[in-house]
Amino acid sequence: MTDRATAIRIAPRAGLVIALASFLGVVAFFWPFLVAPGKFGSNYAPPLIFGVLLVIVLCVVLSEIAEGGINSKALAMLGVLSAVNAAIRPLGAGTAGIETVFFILVLAGRVYGPGFGFTLGCTSLFASALITGGVGPWMPYQMFGCAFVGMLAGLLPKATGRREVLMLAVYGSLSGYLFGFLLNLSFWPFSLDPNSSIAYLPGLPFTQQFHRYLAFDLATSLGWDTGRAVTNFVCVTLAGPAVLTTFRRAARRARFQAPVEFR
């Protein structure tokens, strides 16, 4: 039993599915920069198409992860930790809301492994949306983003002691920025008047389009994202060591991958 207990194992087949899913995720978020001019008629259609696509992809990935077997202890822990996340999500300052979710997500992903991180990212946001009445077309994008934040936290390199906490804190704040950047990108194409000079304009060359998006990101949410990054950094540095110890103790007691013997 190593220090990093894997609560939910990712089978090779699930790994392959996740790789395909990440390709689709990149397409679903970055399509405004990738699409050839004249392929889409309206600015409303692609976000919906890709939203449905992400729902299917998430279903397939979660089903494949579950195929490998989620034992009752991992499942109960998943439920309880998503409840913790759903409960602390409204504590974040208002609508941006994700500030405090990453804190538990990153630490749990680190301790319980990438499979658990991925699933926790999905269940946390799903439960939170159900409790607060926030189900909508934005959910697949948020779930996808959070799932990858949790999974990548489980794939971080080995480190111990202070270096580990520092690494997780930096990762938490970076992922806060990246999450904001991607989520903005998901609603940028239709949220502004097309005649505004920072709106998405189909058919522009990449650099101009990217400049427009950067200006939009700067004007709307850089403040939020900075707040989120700082909160993550401070939370992980202050409470990280204690929470990591708690999680590891629980992992030892749960013995997720205990060998089954018949005598």
Count how many residues are written for the chain: 263
Least distance CB 105 / another protein (angstroms): 13
Least distance CB 157 / another protein (angstroms): 25
Binding mask 150-189 for another protein (x = CB under 8 A): ----------------------------------------
Q: Which is nearer to another protein, 64 or 149 (CB)?
A: 64
Restricted to residues 48-77, the positions that interact with another protein (CB under 8 A) are: 49, 52-53, 56-57, 59-60, 62-64, 66-67, 70-73, 75-77
* Terminal-to-terminal C-alpha distance of the chain: 22
133 binds another protein (CB under 8 A): yes
Restricted to residues 219-248, the positions that interact with another protein (CB under 8 A) are: 219-220, 234-235, 238-239, 242-243, 246-247
What is residue 196's DSSP assignment?
S
Question: Which residue, 181, 251, 160, 163, is CA-closest to 33?
Answer: 181
The amino acid present at 151, given as its one-letter code, is: M
Host H or E run for residue 112: helix 101-112
Cβ atoms of 118 and 150 closer than 8 Å: yes
Least distance CB 43 / another protein (angstroms): 10
Cβ atoms of 251 and 111 closer than 8 Å: yes
The amino acid present at 104, given as its one-letter code, is: I
